[in-house]
Chains A and B, each alone.
Chain A
Amino acid sequence: MSSVALSRLSVRYGKRTVVHEYTETIKPGDWLCLIGPNGAGKSSILRAVAGLAAHTGEINVDGSPLRLRTSRRRAELVAYVPQSPVLPHEMLAFEYVLLGRNPYVSYFGGESAHDRAMVHNVLRRLDLDQFADRELGSLSGGEQQRLVIARALAQEAPILLLDEPTSALDIGHQQQALELVDRLRRENGLTVISAMHDLTLAGLYADRLALLHEGHLVVAGTAAQVLRAETLAEFYGVSVTVHHEPDGTVVVVPRRVS
């Protein structure tokens, strides 16, 4: 299990600063969910941790800075599931998940028998082994989403970044995907950082929520602390009712304005 510490993380695109000095610590095995309206900087934080966005400030994994690692060594620590993954239609599902082994294969080398066995193992755990020989284009959205998670899992990285993992899925597959991530987190001891739009689901699965607005952290804490009607009205400009279920679940229900 690995901890992630972001310290005064800033991301700039040209002259525009999209993340302002964000500081956050994620304990080993925890799930942090970034929430906030579009343009809040959620994706940029994930991209910075994945090494895809230039940034200032420090990102430490287990106390050592991520920037000192080569891209390959970083990929051994951090797996990234983008919001809309590129799925080459003719690539076979097995080949796709095998790409996750790249950090462990030498530049000119080929995947070892261990890499292939590892991919079979991941496919079996995610109940995807019957699709191994199928082309990605022939699979459903839910199956494709599980394959993207399978590829991240084949990476054997202790930190998993998920950018809107459920945005393209129906409610059943949303639950299925998040349950899967939660199960893998417990079984493998993964530390998860996700960005999500569905506030109720975010509160349901994450240990801790961080609400961002225009690149600034507004409030962080448990679902009950962050998901308050006044806060959401102020930063999302939305009118909602917040219910607290007896089991502690926080439910955010939109209200009609008129």
Chain B
Amino acid sequence: MALATTSLDTDSRRVSGRNWWLPASIVLLIGAFVLGACIGPAGRISSANWHLIWSVRMPRVALAALVGAMLSIAGASYQGAFRNPLADPYLLGVASGAGLGATIVFVIGRANTNGWLIDPLPLAAFVGGLIAVMFTYMVGAAFGASSSSRSSITLVLAGVAVTSLATAIQTFVLYQNNDVIREVYSWILGRLNTATWQDVRLVAPYIVISSIVLLLHRRQLDLLRVGDDEAASLGMQVGRVRLIVVIAATLGTAAAVSVSGLIGFVGIVVPHAVRMMAGASYKRLLPLTVVLGATFLILTDIPGRVLTHGAETPIGVVTAFFGAPFFIVVLMNKRLAP
């Protein structure tokens, strides 16, 4: 009986010791919101230009929060679904596949698709991203030795190949259709800096739905950490769970990409930073990546506004600046398991 009390005590202490992470990160997120609303090239805001805050900075901050949350939870979910610490929406080729899908819609012509019931742009980005990630996974699974560090790297290399292929097709298509190059490139570069509430309304449903689906699978992702066979022997339908998680993560990523453009490394940096701080259990990891991913992108969006005068530094440059070195750290650290 004495033993029972001790172990229950240690259990509750461990849980409470890690429970303050979520409230703390929510406070951080609120702080980032305030900061994001107050800092900009127009200088400090007085009460007179409340309009500027509401219609220029707030949608930008809200969009950065949505995109950051989505890219982070998608990264963490891909890492869990593929049991690969290097999985990231960009490295898996999702972004380039989505870009190719969007390019095809632009070639068909936005004027022609205007009358369609549903805007085909996010849908095409989603289909392109999904095809790319499935392709990457099949190539990676076919040539990677199972459950080794080699297979992690094979998956990333497969992603590089798929990215190159999608980019090549995209370049070819653009070469044949010069007239849409400007449209396509402004889509690829993203429009975080010109964000409107309209953009927020366009992507929010996709991002909210896929994030909820992923959050609901956090216990399944923990189960997947012991591998396909053991998860199956514990009663999980591995193939189905993996498919649902990958579709949800890809849908959300495609939506995020369609407004934010190329922002790399968020899906690597945020989940691994959270693992280092709060442990690797997906039950804690996924909610925290949502909150801290939103915080991260709001904050990394700020330097770009004030560092350079005139033209803004694209946010992808800022995240890559922090993300690339971090990625190398992840690559070297063998203990960082998905």
Contacts and interface: CB of A to CB of B under 8 A. Distances in A.
A binds B: yes
Given A91-B280, A95-B222, A86 B230 contact: yes
B27 interface: no
A31 interface: no
Nearest to B281: A95
A112 to B, nearest CB: 13
Contacts of A207: none
B324 interface: no
Contacts of B237: 71
Given A90-B279, A105-B219, A100 B230 contact: no
Interface residues of B, number: 32
A120 B7 CA distance: 7
Contacts of B335: 89-90, 137
Given A90-B279, A99-B222, A132 B7 contact: yes
A51 B229 CA distance: 9
Interface in A90-139: 90-92, 94-96, 99-100, 102-103, 105, 107-110, 116, 120, 123-124, 129-130, 132-133, 137
A144 to B, nearest CB: 12
Interface stretch (A75-83, A231-239, A242-250): A75-83
Interface in B201-236: 216, 219-220, 222-223, 225-227, 229-230, 232-236
Given A80-B230, A80-B233, A90 B275 contact: yes
Contacts of A75: 233-235
Contacts of A124: 3-4, 7
Nearest to B241: A107
B222 A52 contact: no
Given A75-B235, A89-B337, A133-B11, A82 B219 contact: no
A99 B234 contact: yes
Interface in A21-53: 47, 50-52
- Band of interface residues on A: 35 or more
A107 B281 CA distance: 17
A74 interface: yes
A72 interface: yes
A74 B6 CA distance: 34
Contacts of B6: 129
A36 to B, nearest CB: 21
B47 interface: no
A51 B226 CA distance: 16
Contacts of B8: 120
Nearest to A116: B11
B178 interface: no
A188 B232 CA distance: 24
A72 B237 CA distance: 8
20 contacts: A47-B229, A52-B233, A71-B237, A79-B233, A80-B233, A82-B229, A86-B227, A87-B226, A91-B222, A91-B281, A92-B14, A92-B279, A99-B222, A120-B7, A124-B3, A124-B4, A124-B7, A129-B6, A132-B7, A133-B14
Given A120-B4, A120-B7, 10 more contacts: A51-B232, A86-B230, A90-B275, A99-B226, A99-B234, A102-B234, A120-B11, A124-B4, A132-B11, A133-B10
Interchain residue pairs A-B with the least CB separation, the first 3: A75-B235, A72-B235, A80-B233
Interface of A: 47, 50-52, 70-76, 78-80, 82, 85-92, 94-96, 99-100, 102-103, 105, 107-110, 116, 120, 123-124, 129-130, 132-133, 137, 155
